[in-house]
Amino acid sequence: METIYVVVEWPDSQQLMEQEWFDECTLINNGKALEEFGSSAYLVPEERARELT
């Protein structure tokens, strides 16, 4: 099964660092995406992002 990722931007991304599954997240750091989402945005598995709400 393929993992679907969603973008979690600041300030919501701050919650990610407190999660035991934080290592499943990827910091967005390429040029175009960095410009669009900012320096503190992460790609998060969709099912994990649902746990934040």
Q: Does position 53 have pLDDT exceeding 80, yes or no? A: no
- Name the token pair of 12: 């919501």
* Residue linked to tokens 């175009």: 32
Q: Does position 22 have pLDDT exceeding 80, yes or no? A: yes
Q: What is the pLDDT of residue 45?
A: 97
- Cis omega (within 30 of 0) for bond into 45: no
**CA–CA dist 3, 31 (Å, integer):** 23
Q: What is the pLDDT of residue 27?
A: 96
Query: 1: pLDDT confidence band, cut at 50, 70 and 90?
Result: confident
**Nearest CA-CA partner of 36 in 9, 12, 13, 17:** 9
Domain ranges of the chain: 5-51
Query: 10: pLDDT confidence band, cut at 50, 70 and 90?
Result: very high
